[in-house]
């Protein structure tokens, strides 16, 4: 009886085990893909922040030049607007100072 119980348990384990291994492999693969995606998103956000900071500094410089030339300063986009513009492929930096235009 013990031998039959042991063989039955072994057979049940062998039938159940491949499903668990497949599930575990799927879970590990999912977690690795999620970690890579999260890492890529964090890197992109970091790049966006650093690049937006550069955009803002450049726009402030352009606006200072425009004010010195007697021109109205250009609007500086909020970060969300800037990221949307970058995603849409629109240029973020305003054109150079227009000659002869006044406030």
pLDDT value for 98: 43
In a domain, 99, yes or no: no
pLDDT value for 44: 65
In a domain, 8, yes or no: no
How far is the C-alpha of 28 from the C-alpha of 25, rounded, in Å? Answer: 5
How much is the pTM?
0.42
When divided into structural domains, the chain yields a total of: 1
pLDDT value for 99: 42
By the 8 A CB rule, do 71 and 98 touch? yes
pLDDT, tens digit, 9 for 90 and up, residues 10-40: 777 777 677 777 777 777 777 777 777 777 7
How far is the C-alpha of 103 from the C-alpha of 69, rounded, in Å? Answer: 10
Exposure of 101 in the CB half-sphere (CA atoms within 13 A): 10
pLDDT, tens digit, 9 for 90 and up, residues 45-84: 656 657 888 888 889 999 999 999 999 998 988 888 888 8
In a domain, 96, yes or no: no
Q: Is the dihedral of CA 8, 13, 19, 22 positive or negative?
A: negative
pLDDT value for 95: 43
Q: Which domain, by its residues, includes 70?
A: 26-88
By the 8 A CB rule, do 74 and 62 touch? yes
In a domain, 12, yes or no: no
In a domain, 61, yes or no: yes
User: Would you say how long the chain is, in residues?
Assistant: 103
């Amino acid at each position: 009886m013990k031998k039959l119980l042991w063989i039955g348990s072994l057979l049940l384990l062998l039938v159940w085990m491949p499903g668990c291994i497949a599930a575990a492999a799927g879970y590990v693969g999912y977690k690795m893909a999620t970690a890579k995606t999260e890492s890529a998103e964090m890197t992109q956000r970091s790049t966006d922040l650093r690049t937006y900071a550069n955009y803002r500094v450049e726009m402030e410089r352009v606006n200072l030049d425009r004010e010195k030339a007697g021109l109205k300063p250009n609007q500086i986009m909020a970060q969300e607007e800037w990221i949307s513009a970058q995603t849409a492929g629109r240029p973020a930096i305003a054109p150079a100072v227009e000659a002869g235009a006044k406030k």
